[in-house]
A and B are shown apart, each in its own frame.
Chain A
Amino acid sequence: MSRRLGILWTALIATILAAPIAITIAGAFSRSPWYGLRSEGTPVQGTGELFAYVLGLWGGNLLRSLQIVAVVAPLALLLGAPAAYAFRRRPFPGSRWVEAAAVTPLAVPGIALALALIETAGGAPRFALLAAGHLVYTVPLVVKTVGNALESHDPRLEAAARTLGAGRIAIVRRLVLPLLAPALVLSALLVFAVSWGEFNVSFLLATPSVQTFPAALYLTYTTNSFPVAAAATLVFLLPVVPAVAAIQALGGAELQRGAQP
């Protein structure tokens, strides 16, 4: 009895969480006469035309977000993964402190970081500043994910490889990297999911010519009609849904700490 009630309660909460998404998706495909010509002044009547219109409006932002992810993802892995390896396998005096410091930025509000970056490096190219802001919130996720993975592997494997005559490069290439491959894939997905939706840092750092897609979402939510806003939301969700599904399948618990709403 109580089991059934618990499942019902869970289903109710999941439904409440899913309902607004379902309504929004329906809004992008509905054709109601009171929308007029999708109330945008241009003949955006079919669904295909609606999405073409949205991409025409915000295509630049979409491209910018993709560029940011393309720059941030490899950099975050290169900064975070070797450090995580050091913290677990080659600890040095003070490494516990560095590790704690490395994950602390996750708790710092994005707008505070944005202001601090503007005040100190406001003259830097805005794309670099945006990438820097995204790195601050994604590198900690890589450190955590790779660190957790290393913790679950037996460190004596590497010692065994060494006694069998494997050099450092061989150990990294043929033992450590293959063992860490799932964690590295998970890290890259987390970086993507966080960077793709990042708004709190990006909005203050953005300029009219260098804006990410969530900034476009803000503009479309405040200026466009509901079908256009819904279509833009759908464009945002399209890569997020498979990414989150894959993160869940790989057991990525860091997402609930990483993404700042």
Chain B
Amino acid sequence: MPAGPGRRRREVTAAAPRGRRSGRGAGSGAWSGFLLALPLMLFLAVLVLWPFSHLVAAAVTAPGGAAFREVLAAGRYRNALVNSLLISAAAGGTAVLLSLTPAWVLARERFPGRRLLRAAMALPLSFSGVLVGFLMVVMLGRIGAVPELLRWLTGRGLLAGAAYTSAGLFAAYLYFEVPRAVLTLEAAFRSFPSDLDAAARTLGAGLGERLLRLRLPLLAPALSSSFALTFSASMGSFGVALILARRFTVAPVEIYTELTGFSNDAVAGALCLLLALITVTVDRLAAARTGRRKPP
């Protein structure tokens, strides 16, 4: 199974020189490939590499790395980073746990209404962050649907304004993370070799043993990649927090405030770099883990 795509890729490279019409040097296929990818490379160099190297240069050449020291010293900036890390990690883990069963059900079971449930899971994927923030206000704002329902049931305004607390941000992160985790895990569950599970059962393995010693190791890459995906999505999420973060702050909103409120470009740049460093590292680690079986 792991050898499948890899073998095919080798075939491709082998077929390219053989299939060429005229025998112009062995590098011709590679040259045409280079030319085809050249616009993309220029695009990446101009719009990603250059801007970010500029940002790095500005942060590093500042006297004594002052901006980084300021960000990492105890205070508002470090709090924003820590808030982001904690809420994103907690929400990412919770989202993966909540998504296990729906992903399994959507991947393996056939029942009426399955397509509708799947569509409901997929729709929030394309939502703008501000829209997710607004939906959270609709549900948990000061006159949100849930507090109004609870007021009608109990006569007290429970949970009113919860959207604007860190618990509200956690719930909002879950709102866009669960669909991401469900669809990522669903793809993995679909290719899960159930005959192995059946074989383990005939050999007398109970459900607990099969979970721990068969399913978990087999699904570990999918679990870690869906956590990486949800974690870095919420680390970088700006729109949601812009609507909801009133009494506390998270890194993307802090960047925005520093830039527009205080023109503090140095601190904003350092925060941006730290944030990008975290999300890109997590993403690449997860890609390296699954990359042995699939190209990036």
For residues 1 through 19 of chain B, which have their beta carbon under 8 Å from a beta carbon of chain A? 5, 8-9, 11-13, 15-16, 18-19
Question: Per-residue CB proximity of A98-122 to B under 8 Å, as 1/0?
Answer: 1111111111111111011101110
Q: Which of B15, B51, B175 has the most CB of A within 10 A?
A: B51
How many Å lie between the Cα of A108 and that of B232 in the bound state? 9
Any A CB within 8 A of the CB of B93: no
Q: How far is the CA of A255 from the CA of B119 in the complex (A)?
A: 13
A147 to B294, CA, bound (A): 12
B70 at the interface (CB under 8 A from A): no
Least CB distance from B97 to A in Å reads: 12
Question: Which residues in A have their C-beta under 8 angstroms from that of B127?
Answer: 197, 240, 259, 261
The digit string for A26-63, where 1 denotes a CB below 8 A from any CB of B, is 01000000000000000000000000000000000000
Q: Which residues of A contact B52 (CB under 8 A)?
A: 116
In the complex, what distance in Å separates the CA atom of A135 from the CA atom of B228? 23
Contact with B along A144-184 (1 / 0, CB 8 A): 00010001000110110011000000000000000000000
B215 on interface, CB distance cutoff 8 Å: no
* Chain B residues, CB < 8 A from A70: none
With a cutoff of 8 Å between Cβ atoms, the chain B residues found around residue A95 in the complex are: 33-34, 37
Closest residue of chain B to A215 (Cβ to Cβ) is B130
**Residues in chain B near residue A85, CB distance under 8 A:** 36
Q: Are B34 and A86 in contact (CB under 8 A)?
A: yes
- Distance from B270 Cβ to chain A, minimum over Cβ atoms (Å): 11
Q: Which residues of A contact B96 (CB under 8 A)?
A: none
Check A87/B55 contact, CB under 8 A, given A104-B280, A233-B131.
no
B238 and A256 form a contact (CB under 8 A): no
Q: In the complex, which residue of chain B has the Cβ closest to the Cβ of A161?
A: B19
Residues of A close to B15: CB separation below 8 A: 155-156, 159
Contacts of A221 in B (CB 8 A): 130, 133-134, 137, 243
Q: How many A-B residue pairs have CB under 8 A?
A: 305
Given contacts A23-B138, A217-B128, contact A261 B43 (CB under 8 A): no
- Count residues of B near A (Cβ-Cβ below 8 Å): 107
- A230, closest chain B residue (CB): B138
> In the docked arrangement, what's the CA distance between A86 and B32, Å?
8
What residues on B are CB-neighbors of A98 within 8 Å? 37, 40-41, 44
Q: Is the CB of A91 within 8 A of B33?
A: yes
Task: For residue A21, give the distance in angstroms from its CB to the closest CB of chain B.
Answer: 7
Contact pick for A117, options B51, B182, B283, CB 8 Å: B51
A20 within 8 A of B: yes
Determine if B259 and A100 form an interchain contact, defined as CB atoms under 8 angstroms apart.
no
**Which residues from chain B contact A119 at a C-beta distance below 8 Å?**
51, 54-55, 58, 265, 269
Q: Would you call the interface of chain A mostly helix, strand, loop, or mixed?
A: helix
A109 with B236: CB separation less than 8 A:
yes
* Residue pair B51, A155 in contact (C-beta under 8 Å): no
CA distance A102 to B45 in the complex (A): 10
Taking A20-B145, A98-B37, A261-B132 as contacts, is the C-beta distance between A240 and B126 under 8 angstroms? yes
Report whether A214 and B12 are in contact in the complex, using a CB–CB cutoff of 8 Å. Answer: no
Question: Residue A13 at the B interface, CB < 8 A?
Answer: yes
- Interface 0/1 of A195-237, CB less than 8 Å to B: 0111110011000000000100110011000000100010010
Query: Can you report 10 residue pairs joining A to B where beta carbons are below 8 Å apart?
Result: A18-B123, A83-B36, A86-B34, A91-B33, A96-B295, A104-B280, A107-B236, A112-B236, A115-B265, A247-B122
Q: Which residues of A contact B (CB under 8 A)?
A: 3, 6-7, 9-11, 13-15, 17-21, 23-24, 27, 78-80, 82-83, 85-93, 95-96, 98-113, 115-117, 119-121, 132, 135-136, 139, 143, 147, 151, 155-156, 158-159, 162-163, 193-194, 196-200, 203-204, 214, 217-218, 221-222, 229, 233, 236, 240-241, 243-245, 247-248, 253, 255-257, 259-261
Residues of B within 8 A of A (CB): 5, 8-9, 11-13, 15-16, 18-21, 29-34, 36-37, 39-41, 43-44, 47-48, 50-52, 54-55, 58, 98, 101-102, 104-106, 109, 111, 113, 116-139, 145, 175-176, 178-180, 182-184, 187, 229, 232-240, 242-243, 252, 255-256, 259, 265, 268-269, 272-273, 275-276, 279-280, 282-284, 287, 295-296
